[in-house]
Chain A
Amino acid sequence: MSETIKRPKRKNPILKTRAPTLPPDRRSRVALGLVRGAALGNLELQCCAACGAVQYPPREACVRCLSPELEWTVMSGRGELVSETTLHHSQELFFRERMPWRLGLVRLAEGVSLVAHLDARCGPAPSPVRVEAVLDRAGQAALVARPADGDAALADEPKLRVMTSDPRFRKVLVTDAKSPVGQAVVKAVLEAGADLVWAGHCEPWKNPPGWPAIAELPKVTLVPLDVTDTKSVNELAAELGFKVDIVINTAEHHRTFGIFGRAGVETARAEMETNCFGLLRLAQAFGPVMQSRGADGDAGAVAWVNLLSIYALSNFPQHATYSASMAAALSVAQALRSEMRVAGIRVVNIFPGPIDDEWNQLLLPPKLAPSAVARAIVGALKGSVEDVYPGDIAQDWLARFRDNPKALERELGR
């Protein structure tokens, strides 16, 4: 961890909590093409299918041959900082609050020039840089030029840190800390420098392996939380919702039935109750109070993470009702993302393939270790993405889904 980021001072309680401001977030339809890659951490630019030209900014047609056949293509990001400037004035409230602000002109290896936010650790122009597409607080794609060697964490740059949701110095609620993934997430966010973790747990008579050790960790406070119980969710939100900077919703209910495998709807309802309505309850209870703290100092409310499943994209009929509940949860998460965006709070969705737990016992490897899921979550918070597909299965299914969702539907079937 860098020493450049100091622990923020406690807020002076007689001063008004500032309201969140956002960087300008209006984009044309074609400019929104950038966000597809940025959501995953990829720099994608338009590449002309007819003549091969790469262009920036995004346009309706190729600037060289006027072809409308433009394909969003992943770029290397390698480039040279051609010139730099420091902004001292802006009409945008977001940047006025953060002056001075550095910008650079970069010539990409692919031959296009672009203006990017400039990492303070880049050498003076001319110097090699790496351009990344990140998400700004408005959730829109932004370009940042960073040192070419690639070791400097975005969250360690005092200005560009705002593009991240770094857990360092923040207070994190893990909604189900008892599950294997929940336990791993508690450890991972503490390692990432979180100030404290509220470890949600329900059904106190159940004591799964590993749980007593989690409960003993320093900086961990156990809190009763059952996302299927509105009273429980509301009580916890009333008690400490105004202190939560990051929600990581790890609560999930996973059974492994096709639609003919378990008669009736009770199992499906239980999955829906946790995976979809649980998220909805949490959102209603914690969302508004977090929105009010979107600009609460340097470690205010910043992110909300949902543990979903790759099955949210396309139903895996062997786990049909679980898939359905995750598809519903994804839909709720999209709405939550829209609501939280106005406060600059990022909603991150994690779409793992099969996790190596009891419910996936009968699936062949590769399966994701709970610790790998936790690493993916922390990586997303320290970086600047909103959709994460950790592991080979998730990456493979995502690629197949994007290529041909009907083909994936057939392939996942029996």
Chain B
Amino acid sequence: MKHSDPAPGTEILAGFTTALATGAIRIIDLTQTLGPDFPSIVMPPEIGQSRAFRMEEISRYDERGGAWYWNNLSFGEHTGTHFDAPIHWVSGRDLPNSSTDTIPVADFIAPAVVIDCSRESAADADFLLTPDLIKAWESVHGKIPPRCWVLMRTDWSKKTDPAAYQNFDEVGQHTPGPDPDAVRFLLNERDVLGFGTETIGTDAGQAAHFLPPYPCHYYMHGAGRYGLQCLTNLDLLPPTGSSLIAPPLKIQQGSGSPLRVLALVPSSQAGASRP
């Protein structure tokens, strides 16, 4: 009896795992460590609050459980390096397959481009990414392909002082992000899969005052697209050519989830994203 031919893709997958084993494809962790010391989102105190990450020991090889160590965790869905599902925002409330348990899993592995805004963000904490800046980036690196993550590199993750990371003054938070036109451009002209940042939100710190407020949340999730925030190590990614593995926890009707974000990078391309 003749064996059937291998399924299409078998060779590709074998080549992929070989590339991982040989280091031809490198894995870069884009995830901040999930712990109580990482800053949590700040909301006006009178409205509902996201719980900060907390860990309580169940037992540690002690009288509470002799031979084992484990913890109970509590935190908001939007804690640490996390994924925003479309249902997170009111604009995405009625979309199908918009929560962490129903999003098509194919969307969890996708290519990424990295737009380096680190110099601009260092000079101006309120720096905003605009369509013109995106087009300028494209003139060097090529047009952003559809269904692709767009990651905004600001080097904000290098701010290890939590006060500097949050960067509040008496009129609020000052962190970089996209302006409303940039979000509209990425969706309408480029059909992106989602937008990712190193800051505590996909929107800029002052985005509550934009029209519409929080444009990245409003438009991305309204279009059924996703957000990633509190990413790190974006400086280790090439401008183009990487892919992200970013599946959130399968939380029933979840609006988001902390997650491990891994970037796959061809090793010849690994390195700073600025050419």
| Residue positions of A touching B, CB distance < 8 A | 203-207, 226, 228-232, 255, 266-267, 270
A327 to chain B, nearest CB (A): 22
Q: Does B11 contact A (CB under 8 A)?
A: no
0/1 interface trace, chain B 23-56, chain A, CB 8 Å (1 if under): 0000000000000100100100010110110111
Contacts A205-B42, A206-B42; A231 near B36 (Cβ below 8 A): yes
A228 touches B56 (CB 8 A): no
B51 touches A205 (CB 8 A): no
B49 touches A228 (CB 8 A): no
B92 to chain A, nearest CB (A): 22
CB-defined contacts of A232 to chain B, threshold 8 Å: 36
CB-defined contacts of A231 to chain B, threshold 8 Å: 36, 55
A205 touches B166 (CB 8 A): yes
B275 to chain A, nearest CB (A): 34
B36 touches A229 (CB 8 A): yes
**Contact-residue size bin, chain B (C-beta under 8 Å from the other chain):** 10 to 19
B119 to chain A, nearest CB (A): 24
Which of A204, A230, A255 has a CB less than 8 Å from the CB of B162? A204
B54 touches A228 (CB 8 A): yes
CB-defined contacts of B52 to chain A, threshold 8 Å: 228-229
CB-defined contacts of B167 to chain A, threshold 8 Å: 205
Main secondary structure of the interface of A (DSSP, over half): loop
**Which of A205, A207, A230, A231 has the most chain B CB atoms inside 10 A of its CB?**
A205
Q: Does B163 contact A (CB under 8 A)?
A: yes
B206 to chain A, nearest CB (A): 15
B163 touches A204 (CB 8 A): yes
Which of B36, B46, B48, B162 has a CB less than 8 Å from the CB of A205? B162
Closest to B46 in A: A255
A228-B54, A266-B49, A270-B49 known; 13 other A-B pairs, CB under 8 Å? Answer: A203-B42, A204-B163, A205-B39, A205-B162, A205-B163, A205-B165, A206-B168, A231-B55, A232-B36, A255-B46, A266-B48, A266-B51, A270-B51
Contacts A228-B54, A230-B56; A267 near B166 (Cβ below 8 A): no
B91 to chain A, nearest CB (A): 22
Closest to A281 in B: B56
Q: 23 A-B contacts, Cβ less than 8 Å apart? A: A203-B42, A204-B161, A204-B162, A204-B163, A205-B42, A205-B162, A205-B163, A205-B165, A205-B166, A205-B167, A205-B168, A206-B168, A207-B163, A207-B168, A226-B36, A229-B54, A231-B55, A232-B36, A255-B46, A266-B51, A267-B48, A267-B49, A270-B49
CB-defined contacts of B54 to chain A, threshold 8 Å: 228-230
CB-defined contacts of A228 to chain B, threshold 8 Å: 52, 54
Q: Within the assembled complex, what's the spacing in Å between the Cα atoms of A5 and B48?
A: 51
0/1 interface trace, chain B 138-169, chain A, CB 8 Å (1 if under): 00000000000000000000000111011110
CB-defined contacts of A267 to chain B, threshold 8 Å: 48-49
Q: Within the assembled complex, what's the spacing in Å between the Cα atoms of A266 and B162?
A: 25
B153 to chain A, nearest CB (A): 22
A230 touches B42 (CB 8 A): no
Q: Within the assembled complex, what's the spacing in Å between the Cα atoms of A231 and B55?
A: 8
Q: Within the assembled complex, what's the spacing in Å between the Cα atoms of A270 and B52?
A: 11
CB-defined contacts of B51 to chain A, threshold 8 Å: 266, 270
Q: Within the assembled complex, what's the spacing in Å between the Cα atoms of A204 and B160?
A: 12
Interface residues of B in 161-205 (CB under 8 A from A): 161-163, 165-168
Q: Within the assembled complex, what's the spacing in Å between the Cα atoms of A101 and B186?
A: 85
Q: Within the assembled complex, what's the spacing in Å between the Cα atoms of A228 and B55?
A: 10
Q: Within the assembled complex, what's the spacing in Å between the Cα atoms of A270 and B48?
A: 10
Interface residues of B in 44-102 (CB under 8 A from A): 46, 48-49, 51-52, 54-57
CB-defined contacts of B36 to chain A, threshold 8 Å: 226, 229, 231-232
Q: Within the assembled complex, what's the spacing in Å between the Cα atoms of A207 and B51?
A: 20
Closest to A205 in B: B166
A230 touches B39 (CB 8 A): no
Closest to B48 in A: A266
CB-defined contacts of A266 to chain B, threshold 8 Å: 48-49, 51
List of 6 A-B pairs having minimum Cβ-Cβ separation, nearest first: A205-B166, A204-B163, A205-B163, A229-B36, A205-B168, A204-B162
**Which of B39, B48, B57 has the most chain A CB atoms inside 10 A of its CB?**
B48
Q: Within the assembled complex, what's the spacing in Å between the Cα atoms of A389 and B167?
A: 40
Closest to B167 in A: A205
A156 to chain B, nearest CB (A): 43
Q: Within the assembled complex, what's the spacing in Å between the Cα atoms of A88 and B166?
A: 65
A341 to chain B, nearest CB (A): 25
CB-defined contacts of B166 to chain A, threshold 8 Å: 205
Q: Within the assembled complex, what's the spacing in Å between the Cα atoms of A344 and B157?
A: 49
Q: Within the assembled complex, what's the spacing in Å between the Cα atoms of A203 and B163?
A: 8
Q: Within the assembled complex, what's the spacing in Å between the Cα atoms of A255 and B47?
A: 10
Closest to A262 in B: B48
Closest to B170 in A: A207
CB-defined contacts of A207 to chain B, threshold 8 Å: 163, 168
CB-defined contacts of A230 to chain B, threshold 8 Å: 54-57
Q: Within the assembled complex, what's the spacing in Å between the Cα atoms of A231 and B57?
A: 10
Closest to A209 in B: B170
CB-defined contacts of A255 to chain B, threshold 8 Å: 46
